Structure 1
Amino acid sequence: MTVLLLLLFIRTVFIAVFLGFSCRAQNFTCSTEDSTSLEAFARHLDSGRVDGWGGGSDCCQWVGVTCSNSGRVIELDLARRRLAGNISDSLGNLGELKTLNLSHNFLRGAIPNSLLHLPLLETFDLSNNDVSGQFDNTTTAAANLPSIRAFNISDNSITGAAPVWICKNSTVIKVINFADNLFSGILPLGIGDCASSLEELDLSANFIHGGFPEDLFHLRNLKKMSLQDNQFSGHLSGHLIGNLSNLTHIDLSLNELSGNLPDIFDRFPHLRFFSAQSNRFVGKIPTTLANSPTLVSLSLRNNSLSGTIDLNCSAMVNLVSLNLATNDFRGEIPKNLPECSRLRTINFARINFSGIIGCGGFGLVYKAVLSDGRKLAIKRLSGEHFQIEREFRAEIETLSRAQHPNLVRLQGYCKYKKDRLLLYTYMENGSLDYWLHEKVDGPTSLDWETRLNIAKGAARGLAYLHQSCEPHILHRDIKSSNILLNEKFEAHLADFGLARLILPYDTHVSTDLVGTLGYIPPEYGQASVATYKGDVYSFGVVLLELLTGKRPMDLCRKRENRDLIAWVREMRREERETEVFDPFLYEKRNAEEMVSVLEIACVCLSENPKMRPFTQELVSWLDKVGSVPEDELS
């Protein structure tokens, strides 16, 4: 009897479990309407299919598809699936869709209007595609996405006016990202309709111009506002922007804003990042900005700000990065900078204060005029004591041994208490970096002949360090900001604070990873050694800068163009190398020589250090530009 009861119990449990699984499987069977819509989407792609999807099978089991218990598709996530082609408007039939993520693909064409009328859609992400066209901004055609929370169409090629009507029917939207598109015209009214919910707004890297509409400053819950790299103009109203008291991140850089910065930064109790660089702001740094206790990063570079720099570093306890370069400040260096205890990055380059002419890796550089009229550049070292001593000794040891027309000349040094001063011959035209990347008319002033001569001079200086100076010297920080130019634009290698002597029979030195991002050879990340071929790699990067006019790494460019070396290699693979050249520079009469220098640069940038030339070969090749046999570069 007991056995019979046990068997009946097992049978009952089995039936219950079986029926349970059957019900769940049946409940998750994809609806015919949604299955048809997804199949139509796949057919519109160039490949006519999506990997992981099977025709005729249950679409709820397909890759990237999530269904509700009723069998309706509620999530479609096909990010990074290498999809190419147009987006079918059949997706607009997925009436219960909550998440649509087609980001990081190769989709093109216009966004179907049907996708902008999905009543339950919460997340819409088409970022990093090649979507184009423009939105119909009429009231009747505006989107109706009442449930939308995040709307991201960044990194595409959409034109026309920014579709701020996205706010019209949603009271829950938190994120709007229109960055890296081709939106133009003024920023239309309508963004203020998001006032009750919007937390992040990114309009960066477009062509939006004119002033800010007043309803932009109704976004009282906004935390991150990125408006950089547009053509916004006019003054920044303190009365209006002060309403956005929840902001933690404000980026206004690379616009045409003017006037004074409003003194209202005490209204932002959570502000951590503020950048207004590359505008036309004038006047002093606002007192409330110079006293902000929450700021982590502050950049006001490349404006026309003036007066003295009155930073309250005892209040700015969180400041890590400060950039005030290329302004009209005067007076003395703020003596209280050490009170900014967390400050790690500071840039005062090109500020006219009391003769300051630049900022080296370990200290500020001043201009001094002696009683006999001679000019000197004086570097005052700063930082941790052991770092100051190490750089001080390295500069003196290196430059007292190395004397060459293409090296900056050390005129003397001074050691008094904690001060360490290095005195150099003054270079009238500053750094190559300044002329290529900072000075407004710099690139047009450096013609091809001048740039080629700079490359040749710098190569000769490097070859002297590597092969003629005894003992030989590794520079370890070759970059455009360490190539100084005299009044004749002749190149002089500078900044030997990281240099190391190479004793006879040595080929390298053991070292920590040092250098500057964008110039560091790839092998330095694998072994703690520095070699001659590492300097050659860095010099190859400088050659690319001379040819293209671009920085090695530039976060303001689109993602695929940020790494200069990778971009140039890709353009060469596509046989489009002439498109990399600086348009201020490229002419038919220069074409052959520029292509030759590009070939030299690419050999210097070989992933395998053994394939890179020795510096004496480099000098020889550059001296024969225009007639270098191709087999010599193999």
Structure 2
Amino acid sequence: MPPRFCAGAPRLALLVSFACAVLLIAPCQCVNEQGQALLAWRRSLRPTGGALESWKATDGSPCRWFGVSCDARGNVVGLSVTGVDLQGPLPANLQPLASSLTTLVLSGTNLTGAIPPEIGGYGALATLDLSKNQLTGAIPPELCRLAKLETLALNSNSLRGAIPDDIGDLASLTHLTLFDNELSSTIPGSIGRLKKLQVLRAGGNQALKGPLPKEIGGCADLTMLGLAETGMSGSLPETIGQLKKIQTIAIYTTLLSGSIPESIGNCTELTSIYLYQNSLSGSIPASIGRLRKLQSLLLWQNQLVGAIPPELGQCEELTLIDLSLNSLTGSIPATFGQLPNLQQLQLSTNRLTGTIPQELSNCTSLTDIEVDNNALSGDIRVDFPKLRNLTLFYAWKNSLTGGVPANLAECASLQSVDLSYNNLTGPIPKELFALQNLTKLLLLSNELSGVVPPDIGNCTNLYRFRLNDNRLSGTIPAEIGNLKNLNFLDMSGNHLVGPVPAAIADCGSL
């Protein structure tokens, strides 16, 4: 009788042969565990345009799939899919990837629903970007467990609720962007524990209220602070002066009140201050003059009082100053003439007195001067031929005297001039009508005399022309018919005589 162990030999050989045949025919017919987890998420989506067409169960490894990256051992370390339409929820269970996944970027992919709290278990994550989707619900506090997280981008969604109090536990965080959501409550004081934080942007959350916590001074590496268009109130804390690396402060269109802290002068890396459309009061601190890298100073539409500090003339990198719509008094500092890069000077609607400083002639980069609606007086003595780039000059509603500067004609780029509601005298300089780019010339409500120059016909791009309420005489020149783009003309309230010229019918846009 043959030994019993030999009885099954043919069957064993058959099984081995079959297994080998299967391996030869289809080696790698299924993906690994990480790939299976990704495919499970893929089945919950409705992608368009073949975005995830390469994700197939027969590929063996997900490392060749679109948006998937792996390390040398074949572990998935990155999932980055942006700008495609996935239409579905975030992956709730990628547990097989939890220990290896360092980057999860699903920006602009039309994802819906809530952020799964399970993501808080992906302990290796350094980058989590879920921005520009349609995510709803609250920010899960579980995300604050991600000790290695450096970038958290949840902006441009419809997230509600509060910023988690434990946000300060993310000790490695450098970038936190939460703007354009529907977040409410306040910015937690724990934010000050984020010593490595460089960018904080939470603007566009109108229900985000309360003051900027004084603990913000603990974010020593902060370069960008953006909290615009929120319901934030209270005053800026003195601790803002501890932000020695801050480059941009953008807290505009909020409910900020109180004064601008003197300590802001310690933020010597500042290039941009955007604090407009608030209820800030008090004076502009002279310490701003220490900000030698400052390029933009926008404080318009507040309740600021006092004089404009002449120390601003020390900020030689300034390109834009807008202090309009406040209650500032005193004169326009002559030190502004020390700003060679200044392009826009906007001081409208204050209570400024004195003259327009002749020193502005040194600001040869100026494109825009707006000093209207103040109490300025004296002649206009700016050396306009030096301002070759000037496109706009508004000085209406002041008490300016003397004549309309004929040397404005040297500003070949000039597009708009408004000197209305002053005490200007003398004739209208005919040289102005050689300005081929001039579209608006408003000289109404002055004491101008003489005739309307026939040279008006040379200013063919003019579309708004007002000379009403002056002491002009003579006739309306027929050359006005050359102004094909003219759509508003007012010469009433003068001493003009004669007929309205028939050529005015050629002003087809009037």
Normalising by structure 2, we get a TM-score of 0.68
CA shift, 1:249, in A, is 1.6
Which is greater in Rg?
A: 2
1: CA distance between counterparts of 2:139 and 2:45? Answer: 22
CA shift, 1:227, in A, is 1.5
Structure 1 pair 155–412 and aligned structure 2 pair: CA distance change class (3 A)? farther
Q: 1:474 and 2:451 equivalent?
A: no
Other-structure match for 1:457: none
Structure 1 pair 39–142 and aligned structure 2 pair: CA distance change class (3 A)? closer
Other-structure match for 1:183: 183
Contact kept, 8 Å, 1:104 with 1:127, in 2: the verdict is yes
CA shift, 1:98, in A, is 0.7
SS of 1:295's partner is: coil
Other-structure match for 2:231: 231
SS of 1:109's partner is: strand
Other-structure match for 1:497: none
**Equivalent residue letter for 2:443:** Y
Other-structure match for 1:430: none
2: CA distance between counterparts of 1:368 and 1:266? Answer: 28
Other-structure match for 2:369: 363
User: 1:23-172 maps to which residues of 2 (within 5 A)?
Assistant: 32-47=32-47, 50-56=51-57, 57=59, 58-95=61-98, 96-137=100-141, 141=142, 143-163=144-164, 165-168=166-169, 170-172=170-172
Other-structure match for 2:303: 304
Q: Percent identity?
A: 24
Show CA shifts across 1:265-299 (max 9, x none): 23212122112111111111101013421212111
CA shift, 1:483, in A, is 9.8
Contact kept, 8 Å, 2:47 with 2:85, in 1: the verdict is no
Unpaired segments of 5 or more residues in structure 2? 1-26, 357-365, 391-405, 417-423, 431-440, 447-455, 470-478, 489-505
SS of 2:144's partner is: coil
Structure 1 pair 29–331 and aligned structure 2 pair: CA distance change class (3 A)? farther
CA shift, 1:472, in A, is 7.3
Contact kept, 8 Å, 2:444 with 2:466, in 1: the verdict is no
Contact kept, 8 Å, 1:220 with 1:244, in 2: the verdict is yes
Other-structure match for 2:19: none
Contact kept, 8 Å, 1:101 with 1:125, in 2: the verdict is yes
User: 1:206-217 maps to which residues of 2 (within 5 A)?
Assistant: 206=205, 207-217=207-217
**Equivalent residue letter for 1:185:** S
Contact kept, 8 Å, 2:313 with 2:337, in 1: the verdict is no
Contact kept, 8 Å, 1:261 with 1:285, in 2: the verdict is yes
1: CA distance between counterparts of 2:165 and 2:218? Answer: 14
CA shift, 1:193, in A, is 2.7
1: CA distance between counterparts of 2:320 and 2:415? Answer: 31
User: 1:79-478 maps to which residues of 2 (within 5 A)?
Assistant: 79-95=82-98, 96-137=100-141, 141=142, 143-163=144-164, 165-168=166-169, 170-195=170-195, 197-206=196-205, 207-238=207-238, 240-354=239-353, 362-366=368-372, 382=384, 384-386=386-388, 391-392=408-409, 412-413=427-428, 424-426=443-445, 470=457, 473-475=460-462
Structure 1 pair 414–364 and aligned structure 2 pair: CA distance change class (3 A)? farther
CA shift, 1:470, in A, is 4.6
SS of 2:120's partner is: helix
1: CA distance between counterparts of 2:428 and 2:138? Answer: 63
Show CA shifts across 1:128-172 (max 9, x none): 1111111344xxx4532111111001111100002353431x322
Contact kept, 8 Å, 1:364 with 1:379, in 2: the verdict is no
Unpaired segments of 5 or more residues in structure 1? 1-25, 400-408, 416-421, 428-468, 488-500, 508-531, 540-613, 620-634
Contact kept, 8 Å, 1:45 with 1:87, in 2: the verdict is no
CA shift, 1:313, in A, is 4.5
2: CA distance between counterparts of 1:55 and 1:188? Answer: 45
Contact kept, 8 Å, 2:346 with 2:369, in 1: the verdict is no
CA shift, 1:484, in A, is 9.1
SS of 1:425's partner is: coil
SS of 1:307's partner is: strand
Higher helix content, 1 or 2:
1
Contact kept, 8 Å, 1:186 with 1:209, in 2: the verdict is yes
2: CA distance between counterparts of 1:74 and 1:319? Answer: 45
SS of 1:183's partner is: strand
2: CA distance between counterparts of 1:99 and 1:156? Answer: 20
SS of 2:63's partner is: helix
CA shift, 1:223, in A, is 1.8
2: CA distance between counterparts of 1:40 and 1:383? Answer: 71
User: 1:562-577 maps to which residues of 2 (within 5 A)?
Assistant: none
1: CA distance between counterparts of 2:137 and 2:375? Answer: 60
CA shift, 1:178, in A, is 0.6
2: CA distance between counterparts of 1:182 and 1:474? Answer: 46
Contact kept, 8 Å, 2:320 with 2:343, in 1: the verdict is yes
Contact kept, 8 Å, 1:44 with 1:86, in 2: the verdict is yes
CA shift, 1:103, in A, is 0.8
Show CA shifts across 1:21-79 (max 9, x none): xxxxx9x9996121011112221112387434231213111111101122211011111
1: CA distance between counterparts of 2:54 and 2:290? Answer: 58
2: CA distance between counterparts of 1:231 and 1:126? Answer: 24
Contact kept, 8 Å, 1:145 with 1:166, in 2: the verdict is no
CA shift, 1:471, in A, is 5.8
Contact kept, 8 Å, 2:328 with 2:352, in 1: the verdict is yes
2: CA distance between counterparts of 1:119 and 1:179? Answer: 25
**Equivalent residue letter for 1:132:** T
Structure 1 pair 335–34 and aligned structure 2 pair: CA distance change class (3 A)? same
2: CA distance between counterparts of 1:471 and 1:289? Answer: 46
CA shift, 1:237, in A, is 2.4
SS of 1:474's partner is: coil
Structure 1 pair 281–68 and aligned structure 2 pair: CA distance change class (3 A)? same
Other-structure match for 1:516: none
1: CA distance between counterparts of 2:328 and 2:118? Answer: 55
SS of 2:38's partner is: helix
Larger mean Cα displacement after TM superposition, 295-304 or 30-39: 30-39
Other-structure match for 2:17: none
2: CA distance between counterparts of 1:277 and 1:380? Answer: 29
Show CA shifts across 1:329-369 (max 9, x none): 11222112120111112211222213999xx9653455699
Structure 1 pair 290–382 and aligned structure 2 pair: CA distance change class (3 A)? farther
Show CA shifts across 1:414-455 (max 9, x none): 79xxxxxx982149xxxxxxxxxxxxxxxxxxxxxxxxxxxx
Structure 1 pair 390–110 and aligned structure 2 pair: CA distance change class (3 A)? farther
Length, aligned pairs only: 403
Contact kept, 8 Å, 2:307 with 2:328, in 1: the verdict is yes
User: 1:542-621 maps to which residues of 2 (within 5 A)?
Assistant: 616=508
2: CA distance between counterparts of 1:483 and 1:164? Answer: 59
CA shift, 1:122, in A, is 0.5
SS of 2:161's partner is: coil
1: CA distance between counterparts of 2:187 and 2:204? Answer: 14
CA shift, 1:379, in A, is 11
Show CA shifts across 1:570-623 (max 9, x none): xxxxxxxxxxxxxxxxxxxxxxxxxxxxxxxxxxxxxxxxxxxx984x77xxxx
CA shift, 1:192, in A, is 2.3
Normalising by structure 1, we get a TM-score of 0.56
SS of 1:392's partner is: helix
**Equivalent residue letter for 2:87:** A
What is the aligned-residue RMSD (CA, Å)?
4.2
Structure 1 pair 174–386 and aligned structure 2 pair: CA distance change class (3 A)? closer
**Equivalent residue letter for 2:85:** R
